[in-house]
Amino acid sequence: MVLTAIVVGVGFNLPSLNIGAAFDDYYHQAFIETQLESSSDFPLMPREWWDLFNFCGPGGKAEIQLGILLGKYPWWTYPELRLAFLRPLSTLSHYLDYLLWPKDQRLMHAHNLLWYVGILIVLGLYYRRMIQTSWIAGLALLIYCLDEARVESVGWIASRNTLVTAFFFIVTLISYDKWRREGWRPGWVTTPVLFLITHLCSEAAWGLWAHFFAYALLLDRASPLKRLIGLLPMILISLGWRWLYDALGYGTYGTYYYIDPINSPMRFLNELPERLLVCFGEYFYFVPRNAYFGSPDIGNGYDTVLFILILLILPTAWVFFSMMRSNREMRYWLVSSLLICIPLCTVYPMPRLFLVASISASPLIAQTIASFTGYFKRSNAPAASLLIRVILVRFTQALVALLAVAWLALHIVAAPYFLLQRNASLRGVLHYGTAHAQLIPSGPELSGKTMVIINTPDLYPTLFSLSRRQNHSPVYPQHTIIIGETTNSFVLRRASENALLVMFNKGFFQSTYSLFLRDVIYPIPIGYRIKQLDFFITVERITPDGRPLAVKIERSSLDSSNLIWVIWNGRKFSRVTLPPVGRSYGYPAVNWQDYRDAHGLR
């Protein structure tokens, strides 16, 4: 079955070899090339070679202020923002690409695919160790590799850290189980070493504690004291790692996407219920997937989806708790799948992050489907009388059968179709990123100038596109700043020779991507004034929820020939001339059909 899963997993992800690169891939290329060439034209602040995933923060508030001044960060970046991850081993995997095949993105994608094959091999071994019935172990592995969430990790070069982490995550679990179950003496050394290696891959290593705790509680047959002693090396590693992480300035703060429960406990608790619902939907029902990116607000149009998920929890929980009463394996998988959601919810839920979380969910689905073979011939459900017992047994049997049929149809029959659709969707998304970068003005005639992008309909691809390079050189002017992100109409009013007022209908930051650099709980006040390059930007008006509605841009000469003013004109980013003093120019809202056509989207 492992071989079958590998063939299926590789076969369905082979189309990713031709997807290409976009978004974070541009940033990674710029970072690595400038490091290898000792160049100074890296788009952000100077970094050490291992800081590929360090966007801002270790330098503290002074670094953010300097970065904004130099045009390295957008002007609205939260002054205390921290967005820095320490992932040296994942970083090294990308360096390997640029040392061995720097111009061949197909080989970079093949590198991702190779890690995925390794994951399926070691996960097959782990399932075979942990699941008594071999065909159920194989079914769990098949369900895992047919999950469409795998596509994003395998098909996007920049997501390789999730693959590298998952591989060492699973190998650590195998070592721990062999040590605790079989008394394998090298395990007391290999397990902590592998645990540390997983930490060096990404922060997802903290998810191993979900498995360690569930294993110690439910599967380890040693005395409580020996179980605790067995966990002590990992406890010391985690405490030491967290201390080092904080001491070096890594971590997250001030962003909506990543919430550190230690630095921002109340913010984390506020977001936890909704994110847990998303995890539940991702695990078992393929919803809401990336649709959750619609808005950060609770009333965001996805309330219906979240309500449906709440309703689905009830029968799913009934089935799981009925099955786990007589099945120790189910208890382990259920507890670990629930606990791993806690570190997972520190991140804005995205399918690729479920590469390690689904390790526990897939066996739960497989065990439920396997219930047709007779898991519920007898029920241990408590009952006050024979009649109640019969009713409970029949109800449980019917519910298990219904869920088993539904998951068989969803995770086995329909999953290949969803997987192919997801692959095509990822191809479209990355093609969109490539097309977006090509719509921004570039060329040798812009060298040495300052480009001011007044509006962008989509901040995320614009930000990362600005780090794009060709022939080891930046594509866009070194000094490029963005005034705002909006999809609605806006007006440019020339207040004076040195002052331009930009008024956005409905305000800035209408996409959750804008909250990447400043969480919604940190509104921008009226009168907020900041210097960026040789511009002064002042917030003149705000929306009721604290988003800029109008900003004033001041500079000694707004009509300088060294300035390139750019707007989104409906089909691409175009150069514009500012209005004369006392005049205003209005620009319409984004026409989404034109926008899609410009990016080659159907």
At 425 the pLDDT is: 86
User: How many Cβ atoms are within 10 Å of 390's Cβ, its own excluded?
Assistant: 12
Pairing, β 535-542 against β 490-496: unpaired
What one-character DSSP code corresponds to residue 133? S
CB 457 within 8 A of CB 18: no
At 507 the pLDDT is: 86
User: 300: which 2 tokens?
Assistant: 């965001």
At 297 the pLDDT is: 43
**3-class secondary structure, 540:** strand
**How open is the CA angle 61-67-72, to the nearest 5 degrees?**
145
Short-list 167, 160, 23, CA closest to 94: 160
Burial of 583 (0-12, 13-18, 19+ CB in 10 A): exposed
Preceding omega of 548 cis (within 30 degrees of 0): no
In the chain (602 residues long), the average pLDDT of successive 10-residue segments reads 83 88 92 89 85 87 90 92 94 96 94 96 95 92 93 94 97 97 94 97 96 95 92 96 93 88 88 86 75 43 66 85 81 94 86 91 92 56 61 81 91 91 88 92 90 92 90 88 91 95 86 80 92 96 90 94 92 92 93 89 73
At 379 the pLDDT is: 47
Per residue, the 3-state secondary structure of 333-388, as one string, reads: HHHHHHHCHHHHCCECCCHHHHHHHHHHHHHHHHHHHHHHHCCCCCCCCCCCCHHH
Short-list 459, 438, 562, 549, CA closest to 504: 549
CB 407 within 8 A of CB 369: yes
Length reported for the chain: 602
The residue behind tokens 């993105």 is 105
* 404: phi then psi, degrees, rounded to nearest 5: -60, -45
User: How many Cβ atoms are within 10 Å of 466's Cβ, its own excluded?
Assistant: 24
At 180 the pLDDT is: 95
CB 516 within 8 A of CB 257: yes
Q: Measured between alpha carbons, how far is 365 from 336 in angstroms, rounded to an integer?
A: 14
